[in-house]
Amino acid sequence: MRTGRPRTFDMDAALAKALRVFWSKGYEGASMADLTEAMGINRPSLYAAFGNKEGLFRKALDLYTGGPYPTSIAALEEPTARAAAEALLRSTAELSTDPSTPPGCLLVHGALVVGDASEAMRKELASRREGVLGAVERRFQRALEDGDLPADTDPADLARFVMAVSNGIAVHAAGGADREELQRTVVTAMRAWPAGD
């Protein structure tokens, strides 16, 4: 029985390089030429390993959410809801301005500008962002039940506020805002934290 030729590249290393391209250029902005050049492979090798550009992007998202991104989600383990929100925002500012990675957040700007052909990827990113929003809302619901938030707080509204600020931080970072500016944004945002009676 004839078998295919063995791969002559490191799939993990190639995927990490593809992630950086998507992170820098977004899904639609990353051309196949950009990807194959960065990964050091040809198109047939890319298709054989990842299926197509969409398959490669999904794998890159999995790598992203399993790599730098969980540091933001870990913030939800802080002992109070306020500390969790502040830690989430601060970690977003740190990650979004890390000089060792592209600026911003792949989940936020990866598919902000897409055509009809890329609608599936826009929905994929929206779904992943919704997953983060859900985790934040559940954390705030728990805080409300524990008496850690004022009784009239709506956990869903508060979670949307925190995520809107977090996403805005990522957008500003991608636009060139520096870490110090973004940390001041966190301070300003936390002044809107719900206060008890």
Other beta carbons less than 10 A from residue 172's beta carbon: 19
Q: Provide the pLDDT for residue 1.
A: 45
Cα–Cα dist 17/50, whole Å: 14
Which option is the CATH number for 11-65: 1.10.260.30, 1.10.10.60, 1.10.10.10, 1.10.3720.10? 1.10.10.60
Cα–Cα dist 118/121, whole Å: 5
Cα–Cα dist 178/97, whole Å: 7
Q: Provide the pLDDT for residue 17.
A: 95
Q: Provide the pLDDT for residue 66.
A: 81
CA dihedral 135, 100, 58, 41 (to 10 degrees): -170
Cα–Cα dist 95/8, whole Å: 33
Distance from chain centroid for Cα 59: 14
**Domain 70-190 sits in CATH 1.10.357.10:** yes
Each domain of the chain, given as residue ranges in start order, spans 11-65, 70-190
Q: Walk along the chain (197 residues) and give the pLDDT tens digit of each residue.
A: 445 454 567 888 999 999 999 999 989 889 999 999 999 999 999 999 999 999 999 999 999 988 766 667 789 999 999 999 999 999 999 999 999 999 999 888 776 666 676 788 888 888 989 999 999 999 999 999 999 999 999 999 999 999 999 999 999 999 999 999 999 999 999 999 998 65
pLDDT (tens digit, 9 = 90+) per residue, 161-192? 999 999 999 999 999 999 999 999 999 999 99
What's the pTM value of the predicted model, to 2 decimals? 0.86
Which one, of 58, 47, 49, lies nearest residue 19 by Cα?
58
